[in-house]
Structure 1
């Protein structure tokens, strides 16, 4: 393992470094790559337990498949590459290096950005500040689709929140709490009795 790798680990997560124990979902990885491409670029280490900086390793074949699927979810193409370091005799650590993109990168229609140690959706003001003076028709179409997609997600979340706050959902919660309380009081009564 190189000295640079241990220097990265000792510094911990930052604007340009994400540490993951495992990533199995290509959408999650696509969002991370997208966020770094929309910021300063950076590295994603996979196979390291973040808080203890313990090397747990990854299965190279699995991570390559997840990486390939994640890259396919990005528009436009990003400057990224994956490599593997032999951490110990058995373990490998994946390092994904992502370059900063001059264009706004979308991951499955959403724009994400790295801010400090957080990956988050880009605010409209961030998107606006990154638009070229004369954006192409394709770029405008992609951003419009992204806004449409995010609007649908927000609307479905509103519906779920409304359902969770409905009297039917609250009634189920009250019944469940009452049943648990009754059973707990019966157990206590039997133990005391």
Structure 2
């Protein structure tokens, strides 16, 4: 994707096949977005863009790409293989994640919970 295509996507705004994320949060939240696109017509997630189309950039693109890839591999069942690109746009790095409609749908969210979490969630 080049800067012109990226500019057009941002101007278009969010919709059924485009989602803006200010930052990479947790693997589970990322996986939910990936699964939503894989289970439907596919789509694109732009990390480093606010809902109001403000470009904020990402802080640590390498670490954030690793989290996205982990979410796709570990938190999605079956795993999803998105295309992940780091692009420089207006002097800031953005992460562009493209998810194709899956031929293996439905995908579901895998949530791991440890023994301590189980105890905390039980009513005793």
TM-score (norm 1): 0.53
The reply to whether residue 76 of structure 1 matches residue 78 of structure 2 is yes
RMSD value, Cα: 1.9
CA shift digits 1:149-168 (9 cap, x unpaired): xxxxxxx8xx99xxxxxxxx
Instruction: Report which stretch shifted further, 100-109 or 29-38.
Output: 100-109
Which residue of structure 1 aligns with residue 106 of structure 2?
A: 104
The answer as to whether partners of 2:18 and 2:43 remain within 8 angstroms in 1 is yes
- Larger RCO (alpha carbons 8 Å, 6+ apart): 2
Q: CA shift at 1:24, angstroms?
A: 1.9
**Quick check: which one's helix share is greater?**
1
Q: Which runs of 5+ in 2 are unaligned?
A: 112-120
Q: CA shift at 1:19, angstroms?
A: 0.4
What secondary structure, in the 3-state scheme, does the structure 2 residue paired with 1:55 have? coil
Number of aligned pairs?
A: 110
CA distance in 2, matches of 1:79, 1:25: 18
CA distance in 1, matches of 2:12, 2:5: 11
CA radius of gyration, larger in:
1
CA shift digits 1:113-143 (9 cap, x unpaired): xxxxxxxxxxxxxxxxxxxxxxxxxxxxxxx
Q: Which runs of 5+ in 1 are unaligned?
A: 110-155, 161-193
The answer as to whether partners of 1:29 and 1:67 remain within 8 angstroms in 2 is yes
1:84-163 to structure 2, matched below 5 A, reads: 84-89=86-91, 91-102=92-103, 103-108=105-110
What secondary structure, in the 3-state scheme, does the structure 1 residue paired with 2:106 have? coil
TM-score (norm 2): 0.80
Q: CA shift at 1:62, angstroms?
A: 2.5
CA distance in 1, matches of 2:62, 2:6: 21
Which residue of structure 1 aligns with residue 27 of structure 2?
A: 26
